[in-house]
Amino acid sequence: MSKIRGRFAPTPSGLMHVGNAWTALLAWLQTRSQSGQFVLRMEDIDGPRCRPELAAAALADLRWLGLDWDEGPDIGGPYAPYTQSERIRLYEAAMDKLLEHGALYPCFCSRAELLAVASAPHGLSSEGPTYAGTCRHLSPEQQRIRSAVKTPSMRFKADDSASIRFEDGISGSQVFPPGAGGDFVVRRADGIISYQLAVVIDDAAMKITDVLRGADLLDSTPRQLLLYEALGLPAPRFAHVPLLMGEDGKRLAKRHGDTSLAGLRAAGVTPERIIGWLAYLAGQLNRFEPLTAAELISHFKPHLIPKEPITIHDSLMKQLYN
């Protein structure tokens, strides 16, 4: 049996925080506990939001935590480059293939028009309201006329004839109804390739077998599976871990205090304390105790990871500092 290949793919649009570290650690443990190969990829395709100095800081923070990788933007590897902004030609080739197969169509809907249907039921909660298919049946002449005054985005024609099923490594069996979420954007009107297409191309090209990521991306999986199928690419196994939440029920963020790794480091918190704290939250330890990431490898049990979001109370955060 071939070794598994896992990955962690941060977006360098902000400082790494404990929520990022949570996902990175569990993805790393999943791979290292099976003697697999771990890949680090920088998902900076949304250029206006991403900065090179934040990408460099992310690498430094992960190394400080004790995580390593076999392939990545700083060390290279057989599937380089490992930075999305350097892989645009691969995404364009995939776009061409999808266009040849008639799987895409131009969408001229404005942001205001899309917001106007925001009260519609959400097919996939993390993706916003289901697209109504307004531009799907435009004639070539209608497309030509509209293209003269507006640059369109490109949408994928989601199959609305069959349910999408997959087994999630954390959440179990998943079933999404036909056409869940509607037709989705694969290239924005400003020319930026969507996360959905880029991640599929990259994971397939890098031969990733196992994707462990946050539960906020569970709803993206059906769309990605449709793209894998349309492009004739093998899909990886998926596992979605719960998010760390503040006491207000919202995803842990700056409003809950400084949870950045840089801030914790400046406050004198050791990487061993952060690793032990995250391992405790993940059900890998019966009680909180500092330890290294490497010490966790032989004890990693994915079935113990909670399935529900984890609320970080003030008392839990204080454990990091005491």
Residues annotated as catalytic (active site), given as ranges: 254
| Contact call for residues 79 and 38 (beta carbons, < 8 A) | no
- 12 annotated ligand-binding residue: no
Cα 295 to its chain centre, rounded Å, is: 26
- 255 annotated ligand-binding residue: no
| Contact call for residues 223 and 230 (beta carbons, < 8 A) | no
Task: Give the separation between CA 196 and CA 218, rounded to whole angstroms.
Answer: 12
- 50 annotated ligand-binding residue: no
Specify the amino acid at residue 32: R
Peptide bond before 302: cis, by omega within 30 degrees of 0? Answer: no
**Lookup: tokens for 134:** 């307004």
- 254 annotated ligand-binding residue: yes
Cα 296 to its chain centre, rounded Å, is: 24
Task: Give the separation between CA 240 and CA 242, rounded to whole angstroms.
Answer: 7
- The side-by-side arrangement of strands in the sheet containing 184-187 is 104-107, 153-156, 184-187
Task: Give the separation between CA 198 and CA 220, rounded to whole angstroms.
Answer: 12
Task: Give the separation between CA 159 and CA 259, rounded to whole angstroms.
Answer: 41
- 9 annotated ligand-binding residue: yes
Task: Give the separation between CA 18 and CA 212, rounded to whole angstroms.
Answer: 16
- 107 annotated ligand-binding residue: yes
CA nearest neighbour of 226 among 189, 176, 153: 176
**Lookup: tokens for 121:** 């039921």
Binding residue numbers for ATP:
254
Binding residue numbers for L-glutamate:
7-11, 43, 195, 213
Binding residue numbers:
7-11, 43, 107, 109, 131, 135, 195, 213, 254
Binding residue numbers for Zn(2+):
107, 109, 131, 135
